[in-house]
C-alpha cells in the first residue's frame, strides 16, 4: 500500500497536509541493491514524516524528515551492521528552479507533480545519504576489531585504504 503512496505535491503543500508512516526496505529495489544486506536481516526501519507549508517560504513547500536504520555490511570487519540516518529536507514546490536559488544550500526544490511518489522521494534521499563504505562507528570499533580477528579474515583493502587516508589527513 505504501509502495503506491503518491500525492499532488503542490496541493498537499498549499493545504498544509501531513502524513507519516513506515516504509518497507524490501520494496526499495534501488536501495537494497547498494546495501549489501546479510541474512538474516538485522532490524531495519524507515520512518518518515512529510508536512506541507503554504507560507513558510516564498513558495509552497514540503518538509521531509526521515529516520532510518538500514542493514548493511561493515566494510572493515565484514559483519552485519546497521547504519542510522536522520535526515531533514525542505523543498520548494515549483515548476522551475527558483531565482537566486543556490544561495540557500539548506533548501531543495521539486517539480510540481499531481502524482509524486513519497516512497521514491524517501528512497532517493537515502541513496544520496548512504555512506559509500559503511563501517562500525568509533564507539563500536572494539567490536569491529574483535570480529575481524576472530574470523581471521584479511582486512578489506578499501577499508585499509580509507584508514590510511584518514591518518594522512
Residues that bind Zn ion (CB under 5 A): 74, 76-77, 136, 144
Inter-residue contact 112 to 9 (CB < 8 Å): yes
Taking the complex as a whole, the smallest distance from the CB of residue 19 to Zn ion amounts, in Å, to: 36
Strand pairing category for 45-53 and 107-110 = unpaired
Residue 78: left (phi > 0), alpha (psi -120 to 50), or beta? left
| Alpha carbon distance 133, 43 (integer Å) | 20
Nearer to Zn ion, 74 or 118 (CB): 74
Nearer to Zn ion, 42 or 98 (CB): 42
Nearest to 10 by CA among 98, 83, 112: 112
Max CA pair span of the chain: 59
Nearer to Zn ion, 122 or 144 (CB): 144
Nearer to Zn ion, 63 or 147 (CB): 147
Taking the complex as a whole, the smallest distance from the CB of residue 83 to Zn ion amounts, in Å, to: 12
| Alpha carbon distance 116, 88 (integer Å) | 18
Taking the complex as a whole, the smallest distance from the CB of residue 140 to Zn ion amounts, in Å, to: 7
Taking the complex as a whole, the smallest distance from the CB of residue 143 to Zn ion amounts, in Å, to: 7
Amino acid at each position: 500500500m505504501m509502495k503506491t503512496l503518491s500525492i499532488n505535491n503542490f496541493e498537499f503543500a498549499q493545504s498544509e497536509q501531513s502524513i507519516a508512516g513506515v516504509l518497507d526496505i524490501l520494496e526499495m529495489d534501488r536501495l537494497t541493491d547498494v546495501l549489501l544486506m546479510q541474512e538474516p536481516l538485522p532490524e531495519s526501519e524507515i520512518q518518515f514524516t512529510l508536512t506541507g507549508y503554504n507560507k513558510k517560504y516564498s513558495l509552497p513547500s514540503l518538509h521531509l524528515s526521515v529516520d532510518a536504520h538500514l542493514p548493511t555490511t561493515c566494510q572493515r570487519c565484514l559483519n552485519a551492521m546497521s547504519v542510522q540516518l536522520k535526515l531533514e529536507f525542505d523543498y520548494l514546490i515549483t515548476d522551475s528552479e527558483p531565482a537566486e536559488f543556490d544561495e540557500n544550500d539548506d533548501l531543495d526544490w521539486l517539480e510540481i507533480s499531481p502524482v509524486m511518489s513519497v516512497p521514491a522521494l524517501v528512497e532517493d534521499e537515502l541513496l544520496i545519504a548512504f555512506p559509500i563504505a559503511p563501517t562500525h562507528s568509533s564507539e563500536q570499533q572494539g567490536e569491529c576489531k574483535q570480529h575481524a580477528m576472530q574470523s581471521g579474515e584479511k582486512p578489506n583493502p578499501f577499508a585499509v585504504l580509507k584508514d590510511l587516508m584518514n591518518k594522512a589527513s
